[in-house]
Amino acid sequence: MRTTILRGARRWDAVGPAWRRLLVDHPPRCVFQTAEWAEALAEEGHDERARWVVAEDDDGPLAVLPFELRERRRGPLRLRVLGNERTSDGLLAHRARPTAVRTALLAAMAAGGEPVDLVTLGGLRDGRGFTLLATAATEGLTTEERHGGHSVIATTAAYHVWLTAAGRNLRAGLRKARSRFERRGELTVTTASGPDEVAAAFDEFVTIEASGWKAATDALASRPRDRARLRRFLLAAAPAGRAAVRTLRLDGKPAAAQLAATTGETLELLKVAYDDQLAELSPSNLLMADLVRTCCERPDVARIDLVTNQPWHARWHAEVLPTYQVRDLNLRRPGGLALRLAARLPWP
């Protein structure tokens, strides 16, 4: 096995050919495995902490894995920690052995002058590349409790059947919200799909999001790297029908918006935003209801993946599925051995 470590941002020219070749036999299971997302991550989302691991054999690529390398202190210990981003994934070929990939990864990092004490993986789900790699870890997977889980809405039934099952409170709330909204003006929903339309709709989304409570910390307007990554992904994936910006409008003006991507039979809702000045009209709820209706009418969409687990998801009777994490100690390093010993010590 030949293993290469690529450091820093804008490494897609080196990583892309192996990623695309793996996708030939491994269709993406989620948006984070698509070539468009991986390219946007490499070109816009990464900084000097990025480390791409590319493993190959005589038959071609075995694994492509994006990481971030960080330094942490635990008391007197200075640790090198290699971790994944929750909004990224890697690819492993069917013939790849996770234990061999893990061994090669640690050896290549050490050979490059950056020996790793600990590998941490979070936000793991079945079928993901990082989940396969985690099967080789020194410690087993554990269910994430804090910030863990992801919500899924099944859309295989007709919308009226789904809405009936969702309950009287949701139906009544949507009916009242629509009535309030239409008393103020005309309600329309637009879907941007072409590059120019997506670019304009994405800019509207950023403006809408910055009007609300997210503005100070979590809004894309204040996170230029995440904004550039999402914009690049949407513009690349939209022409093939794999990404779109959906906008609820009041008399033509944006009131709420969604960034969405489709992978296989799953529509992944990446981000939502609404105009805070129109909060009493429940525009986000109305747009969400329209999304569920649209997906129920589409034979190619079986579910909406809400990507995270948020309190408001319960209103839509979503099923919450677990996500997992793993802490993989490098027991060939003093730091990894010290962490193992500390974990086994009894409480004082």
What is the tens place of the pLDDT at every residue in 70-83? 998 877 888 999 99
Q: How many CB atoms lie within 10 A of CB 281?
A: 24
Residue 314 sits at φ, ψ, to 5 deg, of -60, -30
Reported confidence tier of residue 216, pLDDT bands at 50, 70, 90: low
- Please check whether residues 317 and 329 belong to one and the same domain: no
- Please check whether residues 210 and 97 belong to one and the same domain: no
> In the chain, pLDDT over 70 holds for what percent of residues?
97
- Domain of residue 114 covers 2-149+323-344
- Please check whether residues 327 and 285 belong to one and the same domain: no
Q: What pLDDT is recorded for position 62? A: 98
- Please check whether residues 329 and 304 belong to one and the same domain: no
- Please check whether residues 218 and 312 belong to one and the same domain: yes
- Please check whether residues 127 and 250 belong to one and the same domain: no
- Please check whether residues 104 and 210 belong to one and the same domain: no
pTM comes to: 0.94
Mean pLDDT of the chain: 94
- Please check whether residues 200 and 136 belong to one and the same domain: no
- Please check whether residues 78 and 183 belong to one and the same domain: no
State the amino acid at position 309 in one-letter form.
N
Residue 5, pLDDT > 50, answer: yes
CA dist list (Å): 217 to 33, 214, 257: 27, 6, 19
Of the CA atoms within 13 Å of residue 280, those in its CB half-sphere come to 4
Domain count for the chain, please give it. Answer: 2
- Please check whether residues 274 and 338 belong to one and the same domain: no
What CATH number has the domain bearing residue 180? Answer: 3.40.630.30
Residue 348, pLDDT > 50, answer: no
Q: Label residue 285 left, alpha or beta by phi (over 0 means left) and psi (-120 to 50 means alpha).
A: alpha
Q: 341 or 93: which carries more pLDDT confidence?
A: 93
Q: Report the helix count and the strand count for the chain, using DSSP H and E.
A: 10, 15
Q: How many Å is the maximal CA-CA distance in the chain? A: 68
Q: What are the strands of the beta sheet with 266-274, ordered from one edge?
A: 187-192, 243-250, 253-263, 266-274, 303-305, 150-154, 319-321
Residue 107, pLDDT > 50, answer: yes
- Please check whether residues 174 and 284 belong to one and the same domain: yes
What is the tens place of the pLDDT at every residue in 38-97? 999 999 999 999 999 999 999 999 999 999 999 988 778 889 999 999 999 999 999 999
Q: What pLDDT is recorded for position 347? A: 43
- Mean pLDDT to the nearest integer, 134-154: 94
- Please check whether residues 88 and 128 belong to one and the same domain: yes
Reported confidence tier of residue 214, pLDDT bands at 50, 70, 90: low
